Every structure is written in structure tokens, then in C-alpha cells.
Chain A
Amino acid sequence: MSAVTQADQAAAGSAPGGLVGRRGLGDRSFQWLALGCGLLVLVILVLIAVTTTQQASSWFTTEGWGIFGTKWIPAENKFGATPFIYGTAVTAIIALVMAVPVSIGIALLLTEVVPYRLARPIVYVVDLLAVVPSVVWGLWGILVFAPWIQHIYAHIASAVTGVPVLGFFFGTPTSGASFFTAGIILAFMITPIVTSLSREVIATVPAVDREGAYALGATRWEMIRGVVWPHSQGGVVGAILLGLGRAMGETIAAALVIGSSPVITSRLFSTGYNMPAVIANQFGEATGVFRAGLMGLGVLLFAFTIVINIIARAIVDRSARRKRGA
């Protein structure tokens, strides 16, 4: 009833927008409320940057460029971040090297090989990897996986000792909890996201192009090389970058299986440390510059992951838009 009278009044009054009347107070406040909630995302991101940087300021001021030092010895007040940046890079690269081929393989299997009713259960299974919480991967990694894989590391290490390049990376010392173990666990954890994003990108390849390649007598693999890959290259790179961001920030599993020693070494089977893991393990007992240093590692990690995510999202969005335009 009230709606009708409102419309009548609007029609009678000569509102510039034609029949649209003045919107009620409740209506406008609801719009502001919704806008506020949307802006909350931006507010939180800015607040994260500001507050964590503030808390880390004493690290930046006391250490200066020393924040990129190679020694992290809290007892001697040495807080150099390089071992952790190095460890983060190494574990993330190991994770990507293992997860990317597997993820792209599964994405191609889902889009190009199996029929739809078989694809759904495969998607469920791959997504289950993401349902297992980080800490459960860590628990399994340190109590089951690390002791088991330690023997394999020992065999490989003794086999490659003395071999020029392999010995440099895979020689002794070895430990069940190591860069490599962390890399493997991270690979399991990032596979679902890389797979699902690659699949989305690959699914945008126009069916006409596929059929054209088949009509020319291409095998499935030739079709993938000639049609699917050129079309989805960019988007898959974006998916890989998102996986990289996840691998860098994944905390608890790495904290449990990386071995917790801040060293810079080429030996992938030796114990190491990365940025999120050291924050998780040492923050509880830290005070003063020590705490500021860990907070500063958080700031660096936030900066790295934000930049990577922005680039990755921009790439993925662009390839999705191109599909809509086509």
C-alpha cells in the first residue's frame, strides 16, 4: 500500500528522474552500510600494512640495511632476514617444480580426456587435498613422512656424492626435516589451487579451434600443443604465480617439517628455515627488537605475496576477459 502511494507521489512531484521518487532513509543507509562492508576489504589491507610496519619499525631502525644480513642469532642480537628469504624461495621453487607439471597434467586430463561424469569425482578428490588442514599435513609430515623419506635422502646423497652438480644440491648432510621435505608437502598443498585455476583457463579454449585441429588430423597431444597451449599459456602462468604465493605463505606445515635452522646452503636435503615458519615458531618467546624483527619478516612476506598475487590476478583476469570478448 505504502509503495503505491510513494510511486504516486513521485509521479505527481516532478522529480528529474521521471517516476523515480526520493529514496527513503532506510534505503540509503542500507546502501552506505553495504558500501562500508565492501570498503572493509581495502581498510583491512591498508591496516595490515600500517600496523605491522609500525610494530616492526624498531627492527628497521636498529638494523638499517642489516635486515638483509645473513645471520639470525637472537641471543647475540643479530637479526638478518636473508636465511629466511632464501629458505622461502628454495621451498617455494621445489614446491612449484613438483606441483606445476602434475597440476597441468590433471587439468588437461579433466578438460581434454575424461568425460564429464568422470571429471566431477576427480575434481572432488583433488579438492580433498585442500580440505586437509595445514597442521594435519605438518603432523603427518613430521611423524610419518619425514622419518620414511629420510632413508631415501640418505641413499640419494651417498649415490651422488662427488658428482659435480647433483652432489652440490643433493649431497650430505641429510635430514628427514629439510628444505626438500617442506617443498614436497607444500607441493601437495598448492596442487588443488593450481589445478582448478589452470582448468578454468583451459576450459575457455573455443571448441571450434579444438575441432579444427582434429579435422586437420592432429592427435590429441598435437591439438593440445597447437591450440590449447597457445591459448591458455598466459592464464596458466597466472595460476602458477598464485600457487607460488600460497607456497610462500603456507605456515604451519612448513614450520613443522623444515627442520628449523637458519642456514643458507645449497644442500636441499639439509635442515633450513623459511619466513612464515620462523614467525610461527619464535614469535611466542620474542620481545623487543627480536619481536620487531619477526614482525618485519611478516611485513616482507606480506609485501612479497601481495605483489605476486596482484600480478597473478591481473594475468588471470585478463585471460578470462579475453575469453568473454571472443
Chain B
Amino acid sequence: MAVATEPRRADLREPAGWRRTKNRIATTAMVVSFVVVIIPLGFVLYTVIAKGASIISWSFLTSPIPVNVAPANVGGMGPAVLGTLEITALATVIAVPLGVLGAIYLNEYGGKNWLSRFIGFMADVMTGVPSIIMGLFIFSIWVLRFHYSGLAGALALACLMLPIVIRSTDEMLKLVPNSLREGSYALGASKSRVTLTVVLPAALGGIVSGALLAVARAAGETAPLLFTILTVATANANVFSGPNTSLPSQIFVNASSPYTGAQARGWGAALTLIAIAFILMIAARLVTARFARYQR
């Protein structure tokens, strides 16, 4: 009872020793590992913004791509911006409905049966397939027969987006409470009707935000486009035929160029691309915050 009569607060911890030092070292190592990640991230973002901001302007975003040797203040990335927008939009139109329907099968019809679990598992595996393989695949199955086009690029991007959309939609459908479905069935609605008019609207916020993140991922991809759109310097408004170009593939070309003008345009395009990805990401956040009724 000597401790109780002691006026000072008793420190029950062991006196500072090796155990506590080790604990401190471990905690410091964890903080350091976070710092190790911030440094390159900050470095990349700083470089892209610093080098990109000096060249980017409305005319940069709309002017034609000049020859590689042209100085930095000539021309811009117009065709690449156009290509990225039309190819990504087409890929979204293809992949999102298919992915949402696939997720509806997984969650509403398949449930826990083996096929549904197997498809879900393979969708997870498919997100790990290298994006360049999607390019080779569309090259073999489409480009060899129908030649290079924005559509071929969009198909490759859609293959990449499909499993992502399926997975994120599946997560969101799982969050919709069963009582909503049961209530609708009790009113005599058919399963498709319940799914389309009750379940999907309830999960819409989450589905849209997941789709936006998939689009952000696809918009930055280069590898699937290399062998599907051919990367030309001229603008092509027809996404269904003829070679096309895109921001990522144009950056890839310019990065290997020895000319400073081309490199500067590469930085400008990189900033544009990152800006697009950020806008999509922020949009996804806003959609989640405003419209998602059920969250993880």
C-alpha cells in the first residue's frame, strides 16, 4: 500500500529501456515510410505543374501537334485532347453498362452460387492483367481485321475498365438493404423491375462514383492504345475509323524525343492528363458525398 500513499501519480510503465526504445524505433520507421512516399509524389507533381503550367493555355489545348523539332511555343496538343476525350468516352459507353449488368448478375441473380463466386474471383484476377495484354488482344482480334481506329482503342480500354466497374458496382449493390427488395416484391413487382427501379437507383451514387474512378484510370492508360490507335499527329474526329491519337500515347512519343520543344509539349500534355484524372476523382468524391445513400 506504499504506492497508494505516494503523493505523485504512479507511472506503471517500465522504466525507459530497450523495449520502449524498440517501440519508438518502430513507430519512427512507420512515419518515415510515409515520408518516403510523399517525397517522390511531391517531386513528380511539382515538376509536372512547374513545367506544364508554363506551356499550357487554351491554344495549347486546341492547336495541332507540330513536328518534333518545333520550339515549345509552336502548336499544341489539340488532336491528342480530342482523341483522349472521344476514345475514353466511347470506352465508358461500352464498359459501364456491361459492367453494371455483370454486377447485377453477380449480386441479384447469382448470389452465392459457384458461378457467381467464380466470375467475381476472375473479375478480381482480370484487374491484375497487364494493360499491354489488352492492347495485344484487341490487336489480334480487331485491328488485324478492321485496322487501326479510335474504336479499337476504346475496346481495349473497355476490357480494362470492365472488371473494375463490375467490382465497384458489386460492392455498392451489396450495400443496398434487403428490406428494400423485399418491400418491392411484396408489392408484386418482378425481379427485373425491382432491380432496375429500386435497387439500382438506391445504389446509383456509388455506382457513378466507381465508374468515374474507372474512367480516370482508363484515361491515363497508354499501353492498350499503342497497337490499337497507331498514334498519328493529325486530328481525327471520327472515332470509328482511321488512326487516332491520345494524350498518353503522345506523351510517350514526346518523352523519347531529344528535342526540348517536344519535351515541353510532353510536360504540358502530362499536366492536362493529370488534371483530367484529378477532375474525375474529385467528381467521384462529390458524387459520393452528395448522392451515395449507403457507404462502406
Contact = CB atoms under 8 A, between A and B. Distances in A.
A248 B192 contact: no
Interface in A247-286: 248-252, 255-256, 276, 279-280, 283-284
B147 to A, nearest CB: 15
A301 B223 CA distance: 14
A101 interface: yes
Contacts of A139: 251, 254-255, 266-267, 270
A295 B140 contact: yes
Contacts of B215: none
B223 A134 contact: yes
Q: Which of A47, A131, A301 has the most CB of B within 10 A?
A: A131
Interface string A100-140: 01111110110001000000001001101101111111111
A39 B278 CA distance: 32
B245 interface: no
Nearest to A4: B188
Contact of B130 (A135, A256, A276): A276
B122 A42 contact: yes
A241 B139 CA distance: 29
Contacts of A106: 30, 33-34, 37
Given A38-B119, A39-B119, A125-B37, A251 B98 contact: no
A166 interface: no
A249 B188 CA distance: 50
Given A24-B190, A51-B141, A139-B266, A133 B222 contact: yes
Nearest to B36: A102
Interface stretch (A62-70, A156-164, A303-311): A303-311
Contact of B23 (A4, A219, A305): A219
B40 A33 contact: no
B121 A313 contact: yes
Interface stretch (B158-166, B204-212, B287-295): B158-166
Interface string B16-42: 000110110111011111101110110
B128 A305 contact: yes
Interface residues of B, number: 94
A224 B104 CA distance: 40
Interface in B69-119: 98-99, 101-102, 104-106, 108-110, 115-116, 118-119
A134 B125 contact: no
Contacts of B141: 47, 51
A75 interface: no
B198 interface: no
Interface residues of A, number: 90
Given A41-B122, A219-B19, A249-B133, A135 B251 contact: yes
B182 interface: no
A31 B192 contact: yes
Interface of A: 3-4, 6-7, 23-24, 26-27, 30-31, 33-42, 44-45, 47-48, 51-52, 54-55, 101-106, 108-109, 113, 122, 125-126, 128-129, 131-140, 142-144, 188, 191, 217, 219-222, 224, 242, 245-246, 248-252, 255-256, 276, 279-280, 283-284, 295, 298, 301-302, 305-306, 308-310, 312-313, 317
Q: Which 10 A-B pairs have the closest CB atoms?
A: A249-B130, A133-B220, A105-B33, A38-B105, A37-B101, A3-B188, A34-B105, A30-B192, A219-B23, A309-B128
27 contacts: A27-B191, A33-B101, A37-B101, A38-B102, A47-B137, A47-B141, A52-B133, A52-B137, A104-B33, A105-B34, A135-B252, A139-B266, A140-B48, A143-B255, A144-B43, A144-B47, A220-B26, A220-B27, A279-B132, A280-B132, A284-B227, A295-B136, A301-B133, A302-B133, A309-B125, A312-B128, A313-B125
